[in-house]
Structure 1
Amino acid sequence: MGRYIVSRLAQLVIVFFGVTLLIYLAVWALPGDPIRAMAGDRPLSESVINAMREEHNLNDPVLVQYLKYMGDLLTGDFGTDFNGRSVSDQMVQRWPVTLRLAVTAWLIEIVVGIGLGVIAALRRGRWPDYTILLFSIAVISIPIFVLGYTAQLVLGVNAGIFPVSGVADGWPASYILPAVILSAFGLASVARLVRASVLENLRADYVRAAVAKGMSRRRVVSVHVLRNSLIAAVTFLGVELGFLLGGTVVVEGIFNVPGVGQLLFRSLQTQEGAVVVGVATALVLIFLLANLVVDLLYGVLDPRIRHD
């Protein structure tokens, strides 16, 4: 187990540096001069432009810029934007909002998605199964921004059930609707995944043996079938948390939620490369750590799985 953890950590480090390098190259390869873009229509003197380019290492080759950035990052410094504001401070102010939104959406996926999947499997071929199947297909087929704007109009503007935008009403009122929209695709995927896994395990020999010994159906499903069926769901849900954190860009834009996704979107518009790279780096790190935790949970959920 110890060697496996060390091996996975080594892989994590390699992937982290590789992905962050690609992100850094992609951001700084964007056309245009970010210094001149920051000034807008106001002209800047060449001395000011050169001083700012020197301050932010823009005169160095891209690989040298990346190495300097990673050196600062190892000390916890995510750099500063072109206005001199710390990227770390900006993320610290916005991360609680994004985490609250993403975790709310994640819990919805866990509770509702697993529940719908189990119901569909236990009612296979009946109306609950067909209803859940149609629901999952419909949700997966509709783009998230269409769902978001439609829910905002119907449930927010017309019905007045949820706040239209912002987080002034706090949790859960301001977060439920955007969290439901954010979790919609993953929820449908979890439901279909759990349904297929439960059906497969219901046909397994150990289930027949448990029933033949007189064990109640409820106990067979809750103790044996569900535990084995959750292995595939845990894999998806662990990765999904990283996707939810990164996917808040669209939802936070629709509902005007002041989180990291909104910061990333605005930074792309204003070509604030340091902010974009900083936010993307944090998201990559969270995603990789979530995958590591999922791998380690395999042995907890299924004793047959051993990490040698």
Structure 2
Amino acid sequence: MIRSLSQRLLGLVIVFFGVTFIIYAMVFALPGDPIRALGGERPISDTTVAALRAAYHLDDPLIVQYLRYIGGLLTGDFGTDFLGRSVGEQMLRALPVTIVLGLSAWALEIIVGLGLGIIAALRRDTWIDRGILITTILATSIPVFVVGVSAQLLFGVRWGILPVAGDKAGWPVAFILPAAVIAIYGLAVVSRLIRTSMIDNLGMDYVRTARAKGLAPSRIVGVHVLRNSAIPAVTFLATDLGYLLGGAVVVEGIFNLPGIGNLLFSAIRAHEGPTVVGISTALILVFLLTSALVDFLHTLLDPRIRHD
């Protein structure tokens, strides 16, 4: 067990350094000079540009810049943008909005996705099953920005049921619509995974044995079948949580939510490399942690799964 844990941690460390270096190299290799872009239409003198480049160590070799960034990261410093603002403080201000949005969408994926999957499996080959199948296919085929704009126009502008944009109304009113838009694809996938897995498990010998012993159908499905069928869905949900907490750039932009995704989009437009790298690093950490959580949940749900 200790050996398996050590190997897993070593793999996560290798992935972290490899991915962060690639992102760091790609961000700072983008065309254009971010220092000169600070002046907008007004030119900046060569002396000022040279001073700023030296202050931000942009003239150092790439590997030196990266190692300096990692050194600061180990102390909790995500860097400073070209306007002198702390990247970490900007993320902390945007993080609550993204966490609320992401967890709200995640809850919808779990509740609605599992519910639809269980119903489809128990009503296999009926009009209910076919209706859920068609709905989930449509949900995964329509681009998220189309769903977002359409939902905003219908529920916000035409019907006036929910706010059009912003987070002033607070949770849950301001987050229901964007969370539903983000969750549509995930809950569709979860429902299909649960349906397929449950249908396979409902035909297993242990289910027939449980029925022969006279166990209640609700206990058979809720305790035995659902637990063994949840592993594919749990894998998806755990990894999808990293995406949701990362903030959907498009959805946060459509609904004007001041979250991590919106901050990332603004940083890309402004050529703020330190902010882009800092946010990307935080998202990588989230994905790695959720990946480790998947392994733990696999073992918890099925003790037969062991990593020797």
What TM-score, normalized to structure 1?
0.98
**Pairwise CA distance, 1:247:** 4.8
Q: CA deviation at 1:226?
A: 0.2
2: distance between equivalents of 1:306 and 1:243? 27
Q: Aligned pair 1:285/2:288, yes or no?
A: no
Residue 3 of structure 1 corresponds to which residue in structure 2?
3
Matched, 1:236 2:227: no
Q: Is the 8 A contact 2:152 2:164 kept in 1?
A: yes
Q: Partner of 1:137 in structure 2?
A: 137
**Partners of 2:98 and 2:247 within 8 A in 1:** no
Deviation, 1:64, is: 1.4
Deviation at 1:217, TM superposition (A): 1.3
* Distance across 1 between alignment mates of 2:130 and 2:142: 19
User: Which secondary structure does the structure 1 equivalent of 2:257 belong to?
Assistant: coil
For the residues of structure 2 that align with 1:161 and 1:296, how far apart are their CA atoms?
41
**Is 1:215 aligned to residue 215 of structure 2?**
yes
Listed as ranges, the gaps of 5+ residues in structure 2 are none
Cα deviation 1:276-296 (Å, max 9, x = unaligned):
000000000000000101101
Matches within 5 A, 1:1-308: 1-308=1-308
Contact 2:102-2:245 at 8 Å conserved across structures: yes
Instruction: Name which of structure 1's ranges 274-283 and 50-59 shifts more when overlaid on structure 2.
Output: 50-59
Three-state SS of the structure 1 residue aligned to 2:112 is helix
Partner of 2:31: helix, strand, or coil?
Answer: coil
State the SS of the aligned residue for 1:39: coil
Per the alignment, in what secondary structure is the counterpart of residue 258 of structure 1? coil
| 1:188-219: CA deviation from partner (whole Å, max 9, x where unpaired) | 00000100000000011111111111112111
**Which amino acid in 1 is paired with 2:146?**
V
- Contact kept, 8 Å, 2:94 with 2:259, in 1: the verdict is yes
Give the CA deviation at 1:301. Answer: 0.5
Moved over 6 A (4+): none
CA distance in 2, matches of 1:183, 1:5: 32
Q: Distance in 2 between matches of 1:211 and 1:300?
A: 25
Give the conservation status (yes or no) of the 8 Å contact 1:182–1:247: no
Give, in whole Å, the separation in 1 of the partners of 2:38 and 2:130.
54
8 Å contact 1:27–1:273 — kept in the other structure? yes
- 8 A Cα contact 2:186 2:240, kept in partner: yes
d(CA) in 2 for partners of 1:186 and 1:4? 30
For 1:11 and 1:198, the matched residues in 2 are separated by 33
Contact 2:247–2:259, Cα closer than 8 Å, also in 1: no
Structure 1 alignment gaps of length 5 or more: none
TM-score by length of 2: 0.98
The whole-number CA distance in structure 2 between the counterparts of 1:287 and 1:77 is: 20
> What's the offset of the Cα at 1:246?
3.2
Give 1:63 shift. Answer: 1.7
Letter aligned with residue 16 of structure 2: F
SS at match of 2:38: helix
SS across alignment from 1:124: coil
Equivalent AA in structure 1 for residue 96 of structure 2 = P
Q: Which amino acid aligns with 2:298?
A: Y
C-alpha separation in 1, matches of 2:121 and 2:30:
48
For 1:149, give the aligned amino acid: V
Deviation digits for residues 44-77 of structure 1 (CA, Å, limit 9, x no counterpart): 1111111110111110121211111111111111
